[in-house]
Amino acid sequence: MTPGLAVSFPAPEHGLRRWWQRQILRRYPDDEGTVTLRHRRIYLLPTKRGLVFLFTVALMLLVSLNYAISLGFVITFLWLGVFAATLTHTFRNLFGMKITAVSAGHAFAGGSLTFTVSIDSGDHERERVQLTVKEAPLQCFDLSAVSARLITLTRPTYRRGRLPMGRLTVATEAPLGLWRAWSYVHFSLEGLVFPAPEVAPPSLPQGVDPRAGTGMGRVGNEDLAGLREYQRGDPLQRIAWKAVARGVGWYTKAFEGGEGRHFIHLDYHKLPGALDTEMRLSRLAAWILQCEREGRPFALTLPQVSLPLRKGVAHSEEALTLLALFRDGRAEVGTAQGAWR
C-alpha cells in the first residue's frame, strides 16, 4: 500500500442497507400501466404472532419428547401443518392481483393530496388487503372474485411543487395473521401542490383593460346588472350606499358592458420588495382564489411567462399551476397545461 494513502471501506451494515434498497426496494422503480403481482414481487415473513406461535409449538415438541406424550406429538405436528398451510393461503391472497394507477389530485400546501389506484381481484377472493404509501393512513379492504375497486390514498403536503405518490405497499396477513405477505409497486404518479394562500391578503390590484377605454375604475356607460354581496377589496364607488343606509346590508353594484372597464392584473414584479419568493406566491394564490370566487377576469405576470386576461376555473387552475412550478425566480414555461392532462 502506498504510504500516506488511506483506503476506507463502508461499514457492513451500510453496505447491506444499500444492497437491500438496490435489489429489493428499487427493483421496479417505474411501473407503468397495470402491474400484476407474481412470484418475484411478493415477499413473505412470519409476523410477531407467527413467531410466538412457532415458539409455542417448539415448547410443545420439547415437552412431548421429554415425556414421550404421543398426543403431544399429534397436536404439535398438526399445528405445524396449519402454520405451513397458512403460508400458501397468505401468498395466494396477493398472487395475481392487478394494480393500476388512475389519477393524482391537487392541493394547497399544508393540506392533503389524494392519489387514486384501481385494485382488480382477478379470479380469487381477497381478504383483508392492506394498501398504503408514505405518511398515508392504512387502507384495509376485502375484494370479491372478479371485481375491481378504486382506492383513494391521502398524503399530507408541506411545500408547493410536484409530489410523487412514492412507493405503494400492498400487504396482507390473512387468514390467521401468522404470515405477512407484501409487495412494492412504484408508479410514476405525481400530484400538484399549490402555494398556501395568504390568510388576509390586501385588496386586489386593478389595471386598465386594454380592450376597453383608458379610464381606471370608471363605470362609464356600463349597465347595472344587479347587486351582489360585498367582498373585501371592492371599489368604494361601487358600493350600494342606499342599501347600506336602509340597513339591508352591504352590497356592491355589478355592471356589464361599456367602456373603461377595470380588470385585475396580478404582477409578480409589482409586489413589495420586502416579500420573499414564497410570500409573493402565497399572496398571488390568495388573489387568484378571490378572483375565482367573485367571477372576475384577471391577468397574471411572472418572470418569463404571463397569462392573458381571462376568467373561470380552468384559468385559475392554470395560474395556480404556474405558481406551484415556480423555480429559481422563473416559471416553468410549458408545464402548466401538461400538469392537468
User: Is residue 213 in some structural domain?
Assistant: yes
pLDDT in tens, 287-305: 999 999 888 889 999 998 9
Could you tell me which residue, 331 or 339, shows the higher pLDDT? 331
8 assigned to some structural domain: no
Q: DSSP string of 273-320?
A: TTS-HHHHHHHHHHHHHHHHHHT--EEEEETTEEEEEE-SHHHHHHHH
Q: Which whole number is the average pLDDT over 71-87?
A: 95
What are 12-21's pLDDT values in tens digits? 556 676 666 5
Q: What local confidence, expressed as pLDDT, does residue 331 receive? A: 59
How many CA atoms lie within 13 Å of 177's alpha carbon, on the beta-carbon side?
Answer: 4
Cell numbers placing 329? 425566480
188, 32 Cβ separation under 8 angstroms: yes
Residue 250 lies in a domain: no
Q: pTM of this prediction?
A: 0.73
Residues with Cβ < 8 Å from 336, sequence gap 6 or more?
Answer: 318, 321, 322, 325
Same domain for 303 and 210: yes
Q: What is the pLDDT, as a whole number, of residue 11?
A: 56
Q: What value does the mean pLDDT take over residues 308-330?
A: 88
Q: Give the pLDDT band of residue 311 (cuts 50, 70, 90).
A: confident
Q: Map grid coordinates 393512513 to a residue.
A: 137
pLDDT at 87: 96
* Other C-beta atoms lying within 10 Å of the C-beta of residue 292: 18
| 150 shares a domain with 49 | yes
Residue 120 sits in the same domain as residue 157: yes
- Total of domains in the chain: 2
65-75 tens-digit pLDDT: 999 999 999 99
Rounded to an integer, what distance in angstroms lies between the CA atom of residue 209 and that of residue 98?
A: 54
Shared domain for 138 and 214, answered yes or no, is no
pLDDT digits (tens, 9 = 90+) for 247-267: 777 777 765 554 445 578 999
* Residue predicted with more confidence, 49 or 223: 49
* 190/210 same-domain check: no
275 pLDDT exceeds 50? yes
* Domain enclosing residue 284, as ranges: 206-222+257-340
- For residue 30, the model assigns a pLDDT of 74
Query: Is residue 155 pLDDT above 80, yes or no?
Result: yes
> Could you tell me if 52 and 185 lie in one domain?
yes
Residues 121, 182 share a domain: yes
